[in-house]
């Protein structure tokens, strides 16, 4: 096994907590997790990398991802999950910036002790990361990417082709979630005249396009489609145009830091119709920033607090007293980390970890074959493209100032 310098390893083993400096730069947090419980760790330390937005506008999501991976690593160490090794988490803050995410991924790829990456959250960051780590065969499992292009290419709808064999995700994709959202608005709430506002990013445009296709199939009409910039704070000009079109609802292809203020500003000018979007809205910050009662978000999976398989995760997370909640994607990050741990345990059972490309390729093979029907989010497994086999989605509505789940179902094509 190729190891880091003894100084870094000594610091890891001695501290067992968050560090502010190290081989991957000042934005890193690194933890070896809980005590090893008498496990044999004589073969050294293996690292689970995390790339997520832990500062900035999406920090509540990224911190939940980081903490959930830390929980998984600590539990694994307590159970001696990877015989002969101690696991550490190295968390990099990408700030939702593709360049920063790609730089962190490259450093992970260059470190033979890194067995895999959990992340990123943003699909745009994932697009920058994928080519950086492909040649190194570094495993990547995203807890939050929903852009179908990442796994099946630009022809995902008619000619899907796997893009990178080391890329996996544990969440459903926007070509399913967008239509799921449309079905709820049109069939359950009777919205027939729809407006669309996107922030111009690829994932928002993609989800909006899939939403529009399904809405039209169901007999609804998209009467206006506009764009804003994700850094805008004043949406009055676009909202004035949308108000003139008199829609029944507004679908937004963006995230909560844009959608919350946009919803408030719409209401302030008398455009008091539901704002609806995908998982990027499903966070308490959407409401804090202006989301109003009646607004809707669809999200991946079922409500974690109501899943029998998720209750243990929720209890364990709360017992850690993290300063931040697990958010909408913490449980998915927990499941992704456990896929990494279980799979690397199988690889190292056959021989010491070296980080060589052929060994990383074997790890990818183990992940492809992974199946667990009792993950925090239920079934965890992957199809031939690396996409999750779990197609469960949930509709949430802002009710009395809080998100309330109103419908959970598996997506079925009509």
DSSP symbols for 179-200: HHHHHIIIIIS---EEEEEE-S
Instruction: Tell me whether residue 387 is in a domain.
Output: no
Q: Are residues 39 and 78 in the same domain?
A: yes
Q: Pick left, alpha or beta for residue 94 (phi over 0 → left; psi -120 to 50 → alpha; otherwise beta).
A: alpha
Beta bridge partners of 196: 225, 251
In this predicted model, what pLDDT tens digit does every residue of 237-259 receive, in sequence order?
A: 999 999 999 999 999 999 999 99
Q: Domain check: are 26 and 61 in the same one?
A: yes
Number of Cβ within 10 Å of residue 224's Cβ equals 19
Mark whether 277 and 398 lie in a shared domain: yes
Residues 6+ apart with CB under 8 A from 410: 391, 392, 393
Q: Are strands 221-227 and 193-198 parallel, antiparallel or unpaired?
A: parallel
* Percent over 90 (pLDDT), the chain: 86
Quick one: 144 and 251 in the same domain?
no
Q: Please tell me whether residue 363 adopts helix, strand or coil conformation.
A: helix
Q: Same domain, yes or no, for 203 and 135?
A: no
Q: Tokens 């004043």 identify what position? A: 234
Residue whose C-alpha is closest to residue 61's, from 394, 297, 326: 326
Look at residue 151 and tell me if it is in a domain.
Answer: yes
**Is the same domain home to 255 and 134?**
no
Residue 81 located in a structural domain: yes
Q: Given pLDDT bands bounded at 50, 70 and 90, which one contains residue 19? A: very low
What is the spatial distance between Cα 410 and Cα 265, in angstroms, rounded to a whole number?
34
Biggest CA–CA distance in the chain, Å, is 69
Total domain count, the chain: 2
Beta bridge partners of 253: 198
pLDDT over 50 at 24, yes or no? no
Predicted TM-score of the model (pTM): 0.86
Query: Which three-class secondary structure string do you get for 203-252?
Result: HHHHHHHHHHHHHHHCCCEEEEEEECCCCCCCCHHHHHHHHHHCCCEEEE
Same structural domain for residues 214 and 266? yes
The C-alpha atoms of residue 97 and residue 58 are separated, in whole angstroms, by 11
Pair 75, 129: CB distance under 8 Å: no
Question: How far is the C-alpha of 51 from the C-alpha of 357, rounded, in Å?
Answer: 21
Residues 289 and 313 in one domain: no
CATH number at residue 139: 3.40.50.2300
Q: What are phi and psi of 304, to 5 degrees?
A: -60, -35
Give the position of tokens 């909202």. Answer: 239
Torsions phi, psi for 275 (to 5 deg): -100, 130
Identify which of 156, 146, 100, 151 has the alpha carbon closest to the alpha carbon of residue 123: 146
Residue with tokens 């179902």: 409
Q: Are residues 41 and 168 both part of a single domain?
A: yes
Question: 224 with 242: CB under 8 angstroms?
Answer: yes
Is 1 part of a structural domain of the chain? Answer: no
Q: What tens digit of pLDDT does each residue of 340-395 get?
A: 999 999 999 999 999 999 999 999 999 999 999 999 999 999 999 999 999 999 99
Q: What is the pLDDT of residues 43-91, one digit of tens each?
A: 999 999 999 999 998 999 999 999 999 999 999 999 999 999 999 999 9
| 388 within domain boundaries | no
Q: Is the pLDDT of residue 15 over 80?
A: no
Same domain, 243 and 266: yes
How are the residues of the chain apportioned to helix, strand and coil, as percentages rounded to the nearest 5? 40, 20, 40
Residue 160 sits in the same domain as residue 179: no
Indicate whether 96 pLDDT > 50.
yes
**pLDDT given for residue 4 in this prediction:** 35
Helix (H) or strand (E) holding 115: strand 114-118
Position 207 in a domain: yes
CB half-sphere exposure, 177, CA atoms < 13 A = 37
Please report whether residue 371 resides in a domain: yes
> Could you identify the residue written with the tokens 């450093």?
107
pLDDT digits (tens, 9 = 90+) for 308-349: 999 999 999 999 999 999 999 999 999 999 999 999 999 999
Are 184 and 199 found together in one domain?
Answer: yes
Q: Can you give the residue range of the structural domain that contains 153?
A: 6-172+306-382
Whole-angstrom distance, CA of residue 304 vs CA of residue 312: 10
- DSSP readout, 42-92? TT-EEEEEEEE--SSTTHHHHHHHHHHHHHHHHHHHHTT-STT-EEEEEEE
Checking if the pLDDT of 21 tops 50, the result is: no
């Amino acid at each position: 096994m190729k190891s880091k310098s003894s100084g870094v390893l000594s610091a890891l083993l001695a501290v067992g907590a968050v560090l502010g400096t190290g081989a991957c730069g000042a934005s890193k947090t690194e933890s070896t997790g809980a005590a090893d419980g008498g496990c044999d760790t004589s073969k050294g330390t293996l690292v689970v990398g995390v790339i997520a937005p832990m500062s900035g506008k999406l920090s509540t999501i990224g911190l939940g991802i980081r903490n959930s991976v830390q929980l998984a690593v600590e539990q694994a160490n307590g159970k001696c999950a990877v015989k002969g090794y101690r696991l550490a988490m190295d968390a990099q803050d990408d700030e939702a910036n593709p360049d920063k995410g790609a730089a962190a991924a490259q450093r992970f790829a260059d470190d033979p002790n890194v067995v895999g990456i959990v992340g990123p959250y943003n699909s745009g960051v994932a697009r920058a990361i994928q080519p950086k780590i492909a040649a190194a065969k570094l495993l990547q499992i995203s807890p939050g990417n929903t852009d179908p292009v990442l796994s099946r290419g630009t022809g995902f709808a008619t000619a899907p082709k796997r893009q990178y064999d080391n890329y996996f995700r544990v969440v459903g994709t926007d070509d399913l979630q967008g239509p799921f959202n449309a079905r709820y608005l049109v069939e359950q709430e009777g919205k027939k005249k729809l407006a669309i506002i996107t922030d111009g990013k690829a994932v928002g445009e993609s989800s909006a396009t899939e939403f529009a296709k399904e809405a039209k199939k169901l007999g609804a009409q998209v009467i206006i489609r506009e764009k804003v910039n994700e850094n805008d704070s004043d949406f009055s000009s676009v909202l004035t145009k949308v108000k003139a079109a008199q829609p029944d609802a507004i679908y937004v292809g963006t995230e909560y830091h844009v959608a919350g203020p946009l919803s408030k500003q719409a209401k302030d000018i008398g455009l008091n119709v539901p704002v609806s979007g995908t998982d990027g809205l499903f966070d308490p910050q959407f409401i804090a920033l202006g989301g109003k009662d009646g607004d809707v978000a669809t999200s991946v999976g079922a409500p974690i607090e109501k899943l029998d398989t998720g209750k243990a995760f929720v209890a364990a997370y709360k017992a850690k007293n993290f300063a931040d909640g697990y958010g909408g994607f913490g449980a998915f990050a927990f499941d992704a980390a456990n896929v990494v741990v279980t799979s690397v345990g199988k690889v190292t059972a056959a021989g010491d970890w070296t980080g060589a490309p052929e060994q990383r390729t074997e790890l990818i093979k183990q992940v492809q074959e992974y199946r667990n029907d009792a993950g925090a989010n239920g079934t965890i497994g992957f199809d031939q493209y690396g996409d999750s086999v779990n197609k469960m989605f949930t509709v949430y509505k802002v009710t009395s100032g809080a998100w309330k789940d109103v419908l959970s179902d598996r997506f079925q094509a009509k």
